[in-house]
């Protein structure tokens, strides 16, 4: 399938503006192809949305960017470095410049909220205790959970866990934040809070953000640049408004939430009537 023509829209920006540059990445898990030539870029200070139906490998894309897995073919460049060529020390150095928000928060269950946020500071710095305390409280204040500092992760709601995880992700002042399905399972209030926080982190701190999600309308309100993944490729790219105007059947189905279209409602199966009438099969 050919990419939508609008895919080439942001070609004019200078090259050093590009933080993440995925070029023709191929990746397969146990023989099943997840990506067959994905190309996308994320620019400094922008919110880049990666959308797509469930099971299109959106999370896998984040694993490629964070060097948890490597592309079989093609290149993944982050801050101009090919992640496949980094040794483990360099990978850790690269990861210290980024923060990641996991789908379920991934807080460390044996530490309370305060210690969870303090964790990267304690591991990577020798800051005095009162400075750590102030930093942690500042970040918790930013996500509105300074009062929850002494709670354990098990006592938090889904939305609160994600906000604590966000505080933890920004405590080292990263240059880039990666959000993996930040809206899944949240009530409208929690969703609104996370949405506003993502925008605030981007605007106030100038953090480059990559948001992976299938919540089209939430993302459309904050993203500068969007990519739509399907069938292992980027099938459309552009600003949310451009995607909304797209005539591509893939984009139309996804944006409008139609049950059937290029992404079929039915999982591949033998002919329905033939299977029902097939007595031998019963």
- Give residues in contact with another protein (CB under 8 A): 66, 68, 92-93, 95-96, 98-100, 102-104, 106-109, 119-120, 123-124, 165, 168, 172
Choose between 135 and 263: whose C-beta lies nearer to another protein. Answer: 135
Choose between 99 and 240: whose C-beta lies nearer to another protein. Answer: 99
Q: State the Cα–Cα distance between residues 47 and 194, nearest whole angstrom.
A: 14
Choose between 140 and 251: whose C-beta lies nearer to another protein. Answer: 140
Choose between 35 and 102: whose C-beta lies nearer to another protein. Answer: 102
User: How far apart, in Å, are the Cα atoms of 264 and each of 32, 34, 138, 190?
Assistant: 19, 17, 48, 32
Choose between 177 and 243: whose C-beta lies nearer to another protein. Answer: 177
Choose between 120 and 262: whose C-beta lies nearer to another protein. Answer: 120
**Minimum Å distance from CB 91 to another protein?**
8
229 Cβ contact list (under 8 Å, min separation 6): 38, 50, 51, 52, 56, 57, 58, 61, 235
CA atoms lying within 13 Å on the CB side of residue 101: 32
**Minimum Å distance from CB 52 to another protein?**
20
Choose between 50 and 228: whose C-beta lies nearer to another protein. Answer: 50
**Minimum Å distance from CB 267 to another protein?**
21
Q: State the Cα–Cα distance between residues 267 and 5, nearest whole angstrom.
A: 29
Yes or no: say if 75 and 23 are a contact pair by the CB < 8 Å rule: yes
**Minimum Å distance from CB 211 to another protein?**
16
**Minimum Å distance from CB 102 to another protein?**
5
DSSP string, 85-142: G--HHHHHHHHTTEEEE-TT----TTS-HHHHHHHHHHHH----HHHHHHHHHHHHHH
**Minimum Å distance from CB 97 to another protein?**
9
**Minimum Å distance from CB 120 to another protein?**
5
């Amino acid at each position: 399938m050919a990419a939508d023509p609008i895919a080439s829209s942001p070609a004019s920006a200078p090259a050093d503006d590009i933080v993440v540059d995925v070029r023709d990445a191929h990746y397969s898990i146990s023989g099943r192809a997840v990506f067959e030539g994905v190309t996308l870029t994320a620019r400094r200070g922008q919110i880049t949305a990666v959308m797509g139906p469930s099971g299109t490998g959106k999370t896998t894309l984040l694993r490629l960017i964070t060097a948890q897995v490597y592309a079989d073919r093609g290149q993944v460049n982050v801050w101009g470095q090919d992640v496949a060529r980094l040794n483990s020390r360099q990978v850790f150095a690269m990861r210290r410049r980024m923060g990641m928000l996991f789908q379920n928060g991934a807080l460390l269950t044996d530490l309370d909220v305060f210690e969870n946020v303090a964790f990267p500071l304690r591991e990577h710095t020798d800051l005095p205790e009162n400075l750590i305390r102030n930093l942690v409280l500042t970040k918790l204040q930013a996500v509105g959970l300074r009062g929850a500092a002494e709670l354990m992760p098990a006592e938090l709601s889904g939305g609160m866990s994600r906000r604590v995880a966000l505080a933890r992700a920004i405590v080292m002042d990263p240059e880039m934040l990666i959000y993996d399905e930040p809206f899944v399972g949240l009530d409208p209030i929690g969703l609104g809070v996370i949405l506003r926080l993502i925008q605030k982190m981007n605007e106030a701190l100038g953090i480059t953000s990559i948001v992976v999600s299938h919540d089209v309308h939430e993302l459309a309100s904050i993203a500068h640049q969007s990519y739509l993944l399907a069938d292992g490729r980027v099938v459309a790219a552009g600003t949310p408004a451009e995607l909304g105007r797209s005539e591509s059947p893939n984009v139309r189905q996804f944006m409008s939430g139609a049950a059937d279209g290029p992404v079929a409602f039915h999982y591949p199966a033998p002919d329905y009537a033939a299977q029902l009438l097939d007595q031998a099969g019963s």
